Amino acid sequence: MSTALQTRLAETRAAGRAALVGYLPAGFPDPDSSVRVIRAMVEGGCDVVEVGLPYSDPMMDGPTIQRAADTALAAGTTPADVLRTVQATADTGAAALVMSYWNPIERYGADRFAADLAAAGGSGVITPDLLPEEAGEWTAATDAHGLDRIFLVAPSSTDERLRLTTAASRGFVYAASLMGVTGTRAQVAGTAEKLVLRTREAIGGAGLPVCVGLGISTGAQAAEVARYADGVIVGAGFCQRVLDAPDIDAACAAVRSFAAELAEGVRSAGKTAPR
């Protein structure tokens, strides 16, 4: 049985376009308001939403997302809040994922977390610091509860690492466009397209989608990445608009407008590679 994520990515692929994937930490700027912001992201055009599980040691994240996660933790956000946010996200019709470092899941209990996430309507989890060869417990839990597990590849990944990671991934594989942390950039890293091509070669005919994240913050950048990837992942740009807004109504308006700009870029992109 397909997850909502798999179904949505199949729909966007059939439509000849990439999916727009937005990220926001649960509980940012507070648990109730984060649900309002995510609804605005979907209203603007996000196909998939990554709900971040706030963590005190976010090694992959740059200052904007670290500040957002710190705000969520200061607001008292708990894993239960994360799961409630996932449920609210799934209720919008978008595919809902969790993005989490491994330590919080391990502390919660891998099988218990997978069961509770599936019950909340989540499709799967992105685990940026978990290697596939060390993910036996998580692989068993996601298989038992029908969830996708999304691992990362990077420009430094060897061909052997690409084959191992894509074989272990389900839903999509996350291609980190550059060696660095999350955050806006003046231009898309030149390593991104080559990484997508190398990853597709590693996948072979399996058809696993490749979605690109890190450093995408404008409609033009989204369009550029959408020409060769199956999904465009944006996080820091959404968080920054919430940080800059004077109140939650203004934050939702800014986020909705930003999502619409990105969605227009994704939908208008010409295609240079088969999906």
Active site residues: 50, 61
Q: Across the beta sheet with 173-176, what order do the strands follow?
A: 148-150, 124-126, 95-99, 48-52, 19-25, 231-234, 210-213, 173-176, 152-153
- CA 85-91-94 angle, to 5 degrees, is 90
For residue 270, give both structure tokens: 């010409």
Local structure of 210: helix, strand or coil: strand
How far apart CA 71 and CA 66 sit, in angstroms, is 9
Query: CA 249 → CA 34, 35, 227, 242, distances in Å?
Result: 12, 12, 33, 10
Tokens 């605005």 appear where? 40
